Chains A and B, each alone.
Chain A
Amino acid sequence: DTEVTQTPKHLVMGMTNKKSLKCEQHMGHRAMYWYKQKAKKPPELMFVYSYEKLSINESVPSRFSPECPNSSLLNLHLHALQPEDSALYLCASSLSGDTQYFGPGTRLTVL
């Protein structure tokens, strides 16, 4: 398996909902990332996990909660989001911390 996969592809949620985004890779990569991307803007780093430990948190609001259950999985738990959080959420992985491979993303809409 040479790809990063993400589920769901699309998600619509209300501001009081709790939902989770999932990311999976089976390439043996030890670094995994969450990015947020608005239309025609570059990906904006949110979190980095290295060897299953959170190594970077880019001052993301606590309504976003990352989790790395094992070396192949990465979750992003969402709670009490705001409409401005609507975006494409991208997961990426890297073997050695430089070349990053992106998943297809989850298109999130917050109503």
Chain B
Amino acid sequence: GENVEQHPSTLSVQEGDSAVIKCTYSDSASNYFPWYKQELGKRPQLIIDIRSNVGEKKDQRIAVTLNKTAKHFSLHITETQPEDSAVYFCAARGSNTGKLIFGQGTTLQVKP
């Protein structure tokens, strides 16, 4: 079935360092890959997304890269700040059902 694996499950970095979260998907026909940030007690918030016809997308300190051959996509956060601390979820849109298949989440802690 459709599956998304996300690593690492927890990530701790010093303020100003970079953070990278990686996801692998199983459905080779998936064509849409969003990333959500969820702060404690808040809603999942879309922070960046990428479609299968693009290899990389940037938005200020956040970037996402997609390798369709390897069925792999990654979130890169540069110059991390304490307010980046949250749980991050990757997802892939399944080609058969159109459902978003979520990864298990990464808890990012940015230490001041």
Contact = CB atoms under 8 A, between A and B. Distances in A.
Interface of A: 40-43, 45, 48, 56, 90, 97-105
A42 B89 contact: yes
Given A40-B107, A42-B105, A102 B100 contact: no
A101 B93 contact: no
Interface of B: 32, 34, 36, 42-46, 49, 87, 89, 91, 93, 97-100, 102-105, 107
14 contacts: A40-B87, A40-B107, A41-B105, A42-B91, A42-B104, A43-B44, A43-B89, A43-B102, A48-B99, A90-B44, A98-B93, A99-B49, A102-B44, A104-B43
A42 B99 CA distance: 14
Contacts of A56: 97, 99
The dominant DSSP class at the B interface is strand
A56 B96 CA distance: 12
Nearest to B44: A102
B100 A100 contact: yes
Contacts of B91: 42
Contacts of A97: 98
B18 to A, nearest CB: 23
A45 B12 CA distance: 29
B43 A102 contact: yes
